[in-house]
Chain A
Amino acid sequence: MSLDTRKATVRWILVLAVTLAFFYGLDHFIMSAQGLPLNWDMTPGN
């Protein structure tokens, strides 16, 4: 694997992880704000 490919792969993994974490938090925040909490695995808390 060339250096550029390795850099691009690391960049993709990092960015995808951050984006997934952001949307995961956003979903919890939006549902909780409506009084509809979620469990850690995204199933309904109520």
Chain B
Amino acid sequence: MNWLAYCPVPSTWCRALIAVLVVAIGLSAGEFVTDASAASHGAEQQIASVGSDEVTDESTSLRPAARPKRSDYPSIGVSSRGVVWAIAQLHLFFGALVLAVPIFVLVIELIGFKTNDDRYDDMAHEFMKVSLTAYAITALFGGALALSLFLLYPDFMIYMTRVFESQLLIYAVLFFLESMLLYIYYYGWNALRYGNRKWVHLTLGLLLNAVGTTLLVVANSWSTFMMAPSGVDPATGAVTGNIWEIMKGPLWNPLNLHRFLANIAFGGAVVGAYAAFKFLAAQTPAEKAHYDWMGYTSNFTAILAFLPLPFAGYWMMAEVYAYSQQMGILAMGGILAWLFVIQAVLICTILLAGNYYLWTGMARTEGSARYRWLIKYIAVVLVVGFLVWVTPHNVIYSASEIARLGGGNHPVLGPLGIMPAKNIAVFLMLIFTFLSFQLYRRADKVITVSWQHWGNTLMIAIYIVASANVIFAGVYYGYFTNTVYKVGSSVIQVGSTAVVIVSGVVIDTLMFKGAKTLRVSWGKVPDRAQYALFALPVAFTWLMALMGYIRSSVRTHWHVYAVMKDNSPDNFIPTLQTVGNMVTLVTLLFLIFLLFIFWIANLSGTKQVPLATDGKPAPAESAA
């Protein structure tokens, strides 16, 4: 029986889909084989090395990590660390963008399909255009990173290759699959747009995201192995476990979650800047409306993914402390702690820009007049929170300054420099950012459910009690109890914030049933709102570069923490000035590349008007 005849889409597509599935299943099977072979690898090595000069007894039969000397590191006249730092960071920026955008594109495409609204589909397709243009640059930086690592850190790369062995080939195959699926997904958009064919397209999008997320977690395992190695002998670095034991180190899943969320927030911010760029250049009201809506969706995605990010960050740092207290203290209490003050400035910039965009966006609907009076109070909470968060604890004073202050800390502002005060500030800022979101979502609706008074009262009560709980937990346990309760109480603050967000979504979803929707005038938003959209990717990029440096730097003078020592000329924590310069340099480089991507994406939609009959150039170009 020719079952392909029953397939709702052309048989070519059915065969292509089946081929993709077969390859995916084959790969999964291959991975299991790899695990098994890795488990027996140690024994094979032992057998192979019998008779070798290096083998003296059974305990040294496993190959230890190399102990490279200073002379083993090639010199190219500039800092090797600086070269790898810049290339790795740029690769990570673009990697984050191309892996994240398809995730929310798939969701938007599904919404468009379920609501039969072509606008969603067009917007999702345009988002993918930005991602596709960035893909080639991601691959170029990935190749450059691999080459520079093998050139500048050969012993380290030989060790990493031996540890991860055939997993690297699986990574390469996944990369090929990602490329194939990405191109089919983008270029097949219009060919698979309606009816059952749309399901094929959505399936391709799902496969693309599955492969992309697998690529992410595989690459994450390399980073977390360097920070907290597992599956190897701690004394020698010899591989003792299988690939699964090597991958699932203590920091792997915290980093997976943190990067997954951060990538979505970053991707949303970048495509938001693209929408702002197009909005400001738009010539017609229809174009302005389209790009205004696109910018709003991008900002919504970025901030929504950003809100739970501090929770993932807390988990990550808790695991870092659990793995090595020394590592945790270096990050948050030593020289690197100063960078967390800059982190505070950047996160507050993101929150202020995101909130400001929502407030100005309320001008799109008349229904927002009911809530505008609240904006000034939200702004006060955000600004006070910002000031508390950036208050440093240990400032280096001169003797006369200490005498004038009456001690090492300011008598009034001193208590604001420690974590309990900052925790209160952070969580209140998150709660009030969610309030901005909720007000924006309610602005174009007139709620009609019979229990609306109860629902509104409950929501207000949750905001009041949750905020009071955050302040109580921070002040009482933070300043008046022991350290264990102080640390434990931050989970109360996390829980309170989570309750506000979850209950806000649930209550609104139930209350919006049967609600009357007011008209939203897309495109009628002030130009200054677009500059808030530009501020978001700048702050996100800077933040990623900064925090990525901190995460990597806690290894100090180790390539692989406590297993393989770094003896290169750069095996020290650089000065804060150097860090600031490097982080700023890679941020600027990324932004320049991003402008190039926007220009290319815009160019593909530009058509030249045919030449006039007299052979003179056309008077103008038209954007499609």
Contacts and interface: CB of A to CB of B under 8 A. Distances in A.
Contact of B465 (A23, A30, A42): A23
B465 A19 contact: yes
A26 B496 contact: yes
Contacts of A8: 453
A26 to B, nearest CB: 6
Contacts of A42: 476
A40 B249 CA distance: 39
Most chain B CB atoms below 10 A, which of A8, A16, A44: A44
A3 B217 CA distance: 60
Nearest to A12: B457
Contacts of A12: 457, 461
Contact of A27 (B457, B462, B469, B481): B469
B91 to A, nearest CB: 38
A15 B461 contact: yes
A27 B462 CA distance: 14
B465 A11 contact: no
B492 to A, nearest CB: 5
A30 B454 contact: no
B1 interface: no
A32 to B, nearest CB: 10
Given A26-B496, A44-B482, A31 B461 contact: no
Interface in A5-37: 8, 11-12, 15-16, 18-20, 22-23, 26-27, 30-31, 34, 36
Interface stretch (B252-260, B382-390, B483-491, B561-569): B483-491
A29 B215 CA distance: 38
A28 to B, nearest CB: 10
B469 A11 contact: no
A19 B462 contact: yes
B481 A44 contact: yes
B489 A11 contact: no
B312 interface: no
Contacts of A16: 461, 464-465
Nearest to B462: A19
B495 A26 contact: yes
A38 to B, nearest CB: 9
B476 A30 contact: no
A12 B453 CA distance: 10
Contacts of A31: 485, 488-489, 491-492
Contacts of B485: 31, 36, 44
Given A31-B488, A36-B484, A23 B457 contact: no
Interface in B431-470: 453-454, 457-458, 461-462, 464-466, 469
Nearest to B485: A44
A8 to B, nearest CB: 8
A26 B470 CA distance: 12
Interface string B350-386: 0000000000000000000000000000000000000
Contacts of B489: 31
Interface in B24-71: none
B473 interface: yes
Interface in B484-517: 484-485, 488-489, 491-492, 495-496, 499
A23 B484 contact: no
Nearest to B453: A11
B350 to A, nearest CB: 27
A35 B453 CA distance: 39
A34 B462 CA distance: 24
A20 B496 CA distance: 12
Contacts of A34: 488, 491
A36 to B, nearest CB: 5
B461 A19 contact: yes
A16 to B, nearest CB: 5
Contacts of B482: 44
Contact of B492 (A11, A20, A30, A43): A30
Contact of A26 (B454, B458, B488, B499): B499
B475 to A, nearest CB: 12
B454 A15 contact: yes
Given A16-B464, A19-B462, 12 more contacts: A11-B457, A16-B465, A19-B461, A26-B496, A30-B491, A30-B492, A31-B485, A31-B488, A31-B491, A34-B488, A36-B488, A44-B482
3 closest residue pairs by CB, A with B? A19-B461, A36-B488, A19-B465
14 contacts: A8-B453, A11-B453, A15-B458, A15-B461, A22-B465, A23-B465, A23-B499, A26-B496, A30-B491, A31-B485, A34-B491, A36-B484, A44-B482, A44-B485
